Amino acid sequence: MQENIATERAQEFEENEGLMQLVGFIIGKEYFGVDILMVQEIIRAAPITAVPNSPEFVEGVINLRGSIIPVIELRKRLNLFKQDSKPEDSWILILNIEGRVTGFIVDSVTEVLKIDETTIEPPPDIVVAGLESQYIRGVCKIDEMLLILLDFDRILLVGEIKKLKEMAAS
């Protein structure tokens, strides 16, 4: 019995080796992904309290079970300004980025994806034309769609992180 469990785990490990698990989400017509290990939780849009003098892409803060979490409008941060959906239809990805918990507003969350790391390619110039290329880890094709993997470690600059910490503290 023990041997069967060990064998199953070894097979599962082999199957998952080289695979990356992502949470897929959509902003406008673009399809994005974030490493599932960064995702703390996914919530429906919550009441957001605006914070004076915050950067334009910061919507404000939310109180999530007693924790004050800054919330960023990812559409604005990535300069994807076409808004088709209503804010109440959106979702907030709560991510843990190097110990900083931050919320990111997205239009919708799709599914957990398993992709082979070898299929991730550097982004073509045309993809990064509208986005800051530093935010993009790579791209891969899923079905007939292009999935853009975002590098959330680089989404915020050092000065912006400091300002968010000040917002959460006040």
Q: Is the pLDDT of residue 121 over 90?
A: no
Per-residue pLDDT tens digits for 70-113: 999 988 888 776 665 555 678 999 999 888 899 999 999 998 98
Overall CATH class of domain 19-169: mainly beta
- In our burial notation (b when 16+ CB lie closer than 10 A, e otherwise), range 67-79 reads eebbbbbbbbbbe
pLDDT of 56: 84
Across the chain, mean pLDDT equals 78
pLDDT of 107: 92
pLDDT of 6: 45
Selected residue with higher pLDDT from 38 and 152:
38
pLDDT of 157: 61
pLDDT of 128: 53
pLDDT of 108: 92
pTM of the model: 0.77
Q: How many helices (H) and strands (E) does the chain have?
A: 4, 10
Tokens of 38: 């960064």
Task: In whole angstroms, give the CA distance from residue 167 to residue 59.
Answer: 11
pLDDT of 95: 94
Per-residue pLDDT tens digits for 129-163: 555 556 788 888 888 888 889 888 877 765 565 66
CB atoms within 10 A of CB 152: 22
Selected residue with higher pLDDT from 160 and 118:
118
Q: Is the pLDDT of residue 31 over 70?
A: yes
pLDDT above 70: percentage of residues in the chain: 70
All structural domains of the chain with their residue ranges: 19-169
